[in-house]
Structure 1
Amino acid sequence: MSDPQNTVTLWHATTSSEKPGRIEACCESWLDQDEIVRADRFRKSTSRNQHVVGRGMARRLLGDEAVTPNEIQFAHAVHGKPYVVRPDAAKQPFNVAHTDGLVMCCVGQDRHELVGVDVERLGRRTDPELAQRYFSQPEIDFLQSKPEGEVRRDSFLRIWTLKESFIKAIGTGLQTPLADFAFVDIDSDQPRIELLNPKLQSDMSWQFFSIEPRQGFIGAVAVACRQNADEVRVDLRSFDDLVV
């Protein structure tokens, strides 16, 4: 039986491309004024809706039953990664990602030091030059072993989401060069990371998961625990079913 205390929950939600719907309205009711002001700066309805749902999901899921969503206060680290300031009951590692009307929120447990998540739509256009410019050599070799066309594009997105999940987990974003680390066993459900830059090495143990949260999407989850941690389990759930 899996340990509930070693489970990372990955929630996914559908957002509207135009007029806000039920989920957007519910999530917006949980936001503070600063978050609403920021949401109103988005010109495109799709971007605004994704922002609102992402922040609303985080508030609802971090509070769970112990804290009301409106009570939670966030701050941002140096490179912009949000974290909970108060209350203590909501201080769990979390991360949000969105693309093309799909929003995902990953929530870890106390034993998980860091979590990161990313998602992309399969089949989207990719630039092969990005791999040559930003990926590590093992990843470039992996891509070149794939047949040109859809298979190679989707393999690129698999690597890209894995890399994004890692830099989002550590909170540095693209300040960390993507060639400073490489993924191996990329075709598996649980790829492994090789930290090529000694500055990235620490006493944490990393686990990664490639997932398809919904048909037509590829995502990745990064989880960091202290050394000798047990195997993490990812529990995929629909936020659409939670908001009634």
Structure 2
Amino acid sequence: MKIYAVRILDISEEKVDKLCLLIDSDKKYKIKKFINKKDKIRTLIGEILIRTIIVEKLKIINKNIKFNKNQYGKPYLKDYLNFNFNISHSGEYVLCAVDNKPVGIDVEEVKHIDYEEIAKSFFTVKEFDYIVNQNFNFRLNSFYEIWTLKESYIKCCGQGLSIPLKSFSIEVDQYENIKVISNNKHKEYTSKIFDIDVGYKVAVCSLNKEIYNNIIRVDQNSLINKYSRFNLE
């Protein structure tokens, strides 16, 4: 598994429009619909990142890259069943996980929210108790740990929110071992929490037994320059 992270920088509207010419029409249309400029940039950088990874790893010419979606809307690379990826973005970060088995990743910017009400609505009793039994100063972080772990799991399953968030439970023991429990059974998924920056939580879920503790940081300008060169070849 490889995990890539880009810290986003501002891009002029003109450059956004120019880069949109180098991606497929569906994603271009989605970007154009965003009102918030950061939403445009995050989505654009996510698309450029996965396309650059595909060109480099699989030696596919960019214009020949074809994405499909499963019945729940999760994208996959057409004709390459052993190439699995998932993208997430929040705040200043865009992340992409790539694996030979299904994978899910979630990044969330930690914000001061009414986490107890959200946890009561969407988390299991065990998860809620895990959060409120923490020292008060650690409860918000614990909430985001459970949130990102749950999101990464349903993204790994490829079924999105068709899996009710209360239908399974994330259990974290005193040694920080993580399990996904559904119908009182331990699911065969591996989950891991990453620290990418102060004020962010990242979780990854995979069907592989091991998730390596490294994140490949990619400079946004270098990524754009490399991607632009691919489209000149």
Same fold, judged at TM 0.5 (above):
yes
- Residue 56 to residue 133, structure 1, CA distance change in 2 (3 Å): same
**Identical positions, percent:** 23
- Tell me, in whole angstroms, the C-alpha distance in 1 between the residues paired with 2:141 and 2:169: 17
Separation of aligned partners in 1, 2:172 and 2:72: 30
Gaps of 5+ in 2: 226-233
Counterpart contact for 1:18–1:46, Cα < 8 Å? no
Measure, in 2, the Cα distance between the counterparts of 1:146 and 1:36: 44
Q: Specify the alignment match of 2:191 in structure 1.
A: 208
Counterpart of 2:219 in 1: which secondary structure? helix
Aligned mates of 1:188, 1:132 — CA distance in 2: 25
Deviation at 1:154, TM superposition (A): 1.1
Q: Does 1:193 align with 2:180?
A: yes
Residue correspondence of structure 1 range 145-184 to structure 2 within 5 A: 145-148=133-136, 150-184=137-171
Equivalent runs, 1:11-90 vs 2, <5 Å: 11-16=4-9, 19=12, 28=20, 30-65=22-57, 66-86=59-79, 88=80
Query: Alignment partner of 2:197: what SS?
Result: coil
Q: Following the alignment from structure 1 to structure 2, what is the Cα–Cα distance between the partners of residues 182 and 157?
A: 14
| 1:104 and 2:95 are equivalent in the alignment | yes
CA shift for structure 1 position 17: 5.2
2:45 aligned partner, one-letter code: V
Cα deviations by residue, 1:168-207 (Å, 9 ceiling, x for unpaired): 1112222211121111126755522112377x96xxx310
Match for residue 229 of structure 2?
none
State the Cα distance separating 1:93 from its structure 2 match.
0.6
Alpha-carbon distance in 2 for matches of 1:211, 1:26: 34
For 1:219 and 1:125, how far apart are their aligned partners in 2?
18
Alpha-carbon distance, 1:38 to partner? 1.6
Instruction: Determine the C-alpha separation between the residues in 1 that align with 2:177 and 2:64.
Output: 36
What's the TM-score, normalizing by structure 1?
Answer: 0.80
Q: Secondary structure at the match of 1:128?
A: helix
Structure 2 distance, partners of 1:206, 1:21, is: 43
Number of residue pairs matched? Answer: 222
List gaps (5 residues or longer) in structure 1: 1-7
Q: CA deviation at 1:63?
A: 2.8
